Amino acid sequence: MNDATTRTRIGRNNDFATRQIVYRTPVGIEVDELDHFEVVRKRVFYDDVLLVTYHRQQSWGFVVFAAIVVLLFGFLAFVARSVVPLAMTLAAVAAMALVLGVLRLLMQVEVVSVFGRRSKAAIRYGYRKAFARRMYNEICANVAAAQRKLAHEIAANEPAPDVVPAEELPPMPT
């Protein structure tokens, strides 16, 4: 069966140094880490999951980038104040960066993390808050179902315990 037909892309995890695309499969979560010319695939199987978390986190990279854009274009608008159309355009870019930076500062980023025994997957959602909550709930449901199934398989394969009749036990100490 083709791997691409059973995978559903559920999000990304981008940072300064990492570019990851996260997929949901029937057996777990797959993370494709893009490193220029290489793709490294990691998996977190549902039956190996130890913890699933959902939290908010500040994305300081975006906020700092927006602040740099505001300062740069604000300075350029101040320098070009004699040419009104150019100054207004530069000031509009600075204002837009300011609005986006403040929005990101207030809204924060939703992060769903899946911790396995040997690997970890994290998915960041900057704007789709309801989708992030839905993915968290689906991942938790899939983990619970897979671990229940594994527990039933283990219980079915265990041998029956040896029962010793009570009269064959040694006497209790007094």
How many CA atoms within 13 Å lie on the side-chain side of 1?
6
CA 20 from centre of chain: 10
Number of Cβ within 10 Å of residue 110's Cβ equals 23
Does the pLDDT value for residue 3 go beyond 70?
Answer: no
Average pLDDT (63-78) is 94
C-alpha distances in Å from residue 78, one per residue of 64, 66, 85, 125, 127: 21, 18, 12, 36, 32
Give pLDDT, residue 168. 72
Pairing of strands 49-57, 8-14: unpaired
Parallel, antiparallel or unpaired: strands 28-35 and 19-24: antiparallel
What is the CATH T-level fold of the domain 3-58+112-154, as seen in this structure? PH-domain like (2.30.29)
Cα–Cα distance, 163 to 174 (Å, whole number):
24
Least-confidence region, from 6-10, 127-131, 144-148, 165-169: 165-169
Give dist(CA 130, CA 128) in Å, integer. 6
Dump pLDDT digits (tens) for 10-32: 999 988 778 999 999 999 999 99
Averaged pLDDT score across all residues of the chain: 89
Domain range summary for the chain, segments of one domain joined by +: 3-58+112-154, 60-106
